[in-house]
Structure 1
């Protein structure tokens, strides 16, 4: 299982954390999602690709930046 970490601009409240988490859970290969709203960080674990994770948030107000 690989792990990807992203800084997600615009994810500062609980509702935003829930929304980002919901989008990322639907990505094929994602097994775990851990979001920290205070630091605007998201960790995603599984066999997903970076492109798939970025595509899941495309069209939303959240802007993920791989770390």
Structure 2
């Protein structure tokens, strides 16, 4: 069964932000795709068996605060 998780991530403003968040979240087990939208400040994560708290920790590692939606 596929999971889709969405997070609000304030503070992202450039391509470096996209690369940093995508890279960290992409390492979380179960994640297959990461979509970062700078305009809406939303990060959408797709995959199977994703640990939502691990995604928040990964976004934190990238230097941003995440709020699940």
TM-score by length of 1: 0.90
The count of corresponding residues between Structure 1 and Structure 2 is 67
- Can you give the 5+ residue segments of structure 2 that lack an aligned partner in the other structure? none
Which aligned segments of 4 or more residues in structure 1 are displaced greater than 3 angstroms? none
- Can you give the 5+ residue segments of structure 1 that lack an aligned partner in the other structure? none
Cα 1:59–1:32, aligned 2, differ >3 Å: closer, same or farther?
closer
Cα 1:23–1:59, aligned 2, differ >3 Å: closer, same or farther?
closer
Paired residue for 2:45?
44
Pairing of 1:46-65 with structure 2 (within 5 A):
46=47, 47-65=49-67
Cα contact 1:27–1:52 (8 A) shared by 2: yes
Cα contact 1:10–1:61 (8 A) shared by 2: no
Cα deviation 1:5-43 (Å, max 9, x = unaligned):
001011121111111001100001101111101111100
Paired residue for 1:12?
13
